[in-house]
Structure 1
Amino acid sequence: MEKSVIVKNVSKKYKMYTRNSEKILDLISPKGYGKSFYALLDISFEANKGDVIGVIGVNGSGKSTLSNIIAGIIPPTSGTVEVHGDAALIAIQSGLKNELTGRENIELKCLMLGFNKRQIVALTPQIIEFADIGDFIDQPVKTYSSGMRSRLGFAISIHIDPDILVIDEALSVGDQTFADKCLDKMNEFKEKGKTIFFISHSIGQMKKFCQKALWIQYGHVEQYGLMSEIMPQYEAFIKKYKKMSEEEKKAFQERVRKSRMIEA
C-alpha cells in the first residue's frame, strides 16, 4: 500500500533548567550542561494512505508532541519524518492569531497555504457556516472560548482539504452536535482515502471512528496495530493503573520520569 507518513527513530528532547545561569553553562560547555527530558524517544511507525489512526496514551505520554512533529509545527531532535502530501493540525490553540478576528484568521491561514484571493473569497462563507460561531467571526480570537477556537480551527482545516489530518483533542470541547458534525466530515475524508490521526480521550469515539491504534506510553511506542487488538490492552492497562494506590501511582510515575531524563 502507498505510504503517507513514515516515522523513523524519532526523538524529541527538551533541556531542563532550574535557573538562568544553567542555560549559559549549557551553551558554553563542550558536552552541554544539565538534564534533558525526552518527550519522545526512538519512535518508529508507518501510516498508509487511507489509514485512520487513533493515538492513545495517558497524559504526558507525548501524543501532542508527536502530532506537532507530523504536522511540521516542530522538528524532531533526531530521526526522520516523511510526510507525503499536505498535513493540517487541528488543535484548540493551533494556528490562530489572538489579535486577529476569526474572518482575518481565515484569510491569513489560506494565504499562508498558497490560496489566491479569489479562492479565499469562495471558501470563506463555507468556513464561516461550518464554524457556526455567529457574530464572533468578526471579533478578535482572544475573546473566544476554547469551544469557539476549536470550531474555527476545525472549519478552516477541513476546507483547505489536506491529505493528512491530525486532530489533537479538538473535539473534546464544545457541544455534542458540533462534534457529531465534525465526525461526519471526517468520515467524508475517510471515504476519500485521506490519512487521519485522531488524538482523543474518548475511547468510545476512537472505537467508532478509527481502524488502527497507536499506543504511546511515556515517549515510546507501546503497541501499534488494529484498533480491535490494541484498545483492549490499553483499557486493561488503564483499569490496572486506576486500581493502584496513590503511593503506587507516584512510584510508577517517578520511574517513568527518570527513564526520560538524561544527563547532558
Structure 2
Amino acid sequence: MALSANEWAAQIAKQVGQGVAYYRTQSRDARGGKLTAQALADRCAGLGLPLDRTVIAKLEKGTRQTITIGELLVLARALEIPPVLLLFPLGRTDTTEVLPGEDTDTWAALKWFTGEDDQFPGAVTGTDEKQDAEPVRLFREHERLIKQWWDNRGKLMSLIAPKDPELKKFRAEADPDAVDDLWVQVAKDTMRNAEEALMAIRSEMRDRGLTPPRLGLESAYIEPETFESTTLDELAQTVSRNKRISLSEAIREVYRIAGEPLPESQKDDTEGEKE
C-alpha cells in the first residue's frame, strides 16, 4: 500500500530514531559511563545544532514525525558513526524499507545509498536498470591509486637505506647492490604505472564535468599544470628526491608530462648522455 508523504517521512524518522537509540546505548560519555539522552543533546549543541533531550527521547520512541538531513548529520557525528548507519540498520535487521512499501536487503540498500553499487535495491541482477555511480567509482579509484603511489614511494625510501656502506656489511646477499637495484626498479615501475593511471582517471573525471582531488606537492609533477605557483624545475627537484633519480632525468620526466620543451641547458645534458 502506498504511503502518503507524511507517513513516509514518519517512517524514516522512526527508523533513524531506532538507530539513535541503538548506538546511544553502545556509546560512552567522557567518564566511561552510559551516554544519556542529555549527554547526546549536549554533544549536538556543541556541534552547532541544539537538540532538546525531549526531542531525542521522542525520536528514539518513534513518536517524532520528521527528521531533517541536518539533524541526521549532527546526530551521527555526535554518536561518532557514519550517517548512513542511522538510515539503514546494518547488522540489526536483514531487510529494510528502502522506498515506500519496498523492503530489500539492508546491505544492498546501504551500497545503493553510498554509490558503492550501481544496482538499484531489489533490481534483478544483470538487468539494465542501474544507477550512475561512476563519479563515486572514479573518486574511490583515484584514492586507491594515490595510496598505491605513496606505498611504493615508502618502499623506495626503505630500499635506499640499506645501500648505505655502513649498513651493507650486515646484508646476507652475495651482491646486495644487484638485489637492491632490482627492487628499486620494481618500485619505480609501479609508481610510474600508478602515475599513468592517475593521469587517465583525472582526465576521465574532467570529461564528466568533475573536479579531481587536489594533488599534494610531493605528487604534483603528475599534473604540473594544476600547480601554477610551482615551477617545473621545482617539481623536478621533488621527483628527483622521491624517485631517487638524477635531477637531469627528473627534469626530462616533468617537462615531458607537462608537454613543454626542454630548457636548452637540459638539451645539452641529454646530447652529452647520448654520446
TM-score, length of structure 2 as denominator length: 0.24
Decide which structure has greater helix share: 2
- For the pair shown, the structure with the greater C-alpha radius of gyration is 2
By percentage of residues, which structure has more strand? 1
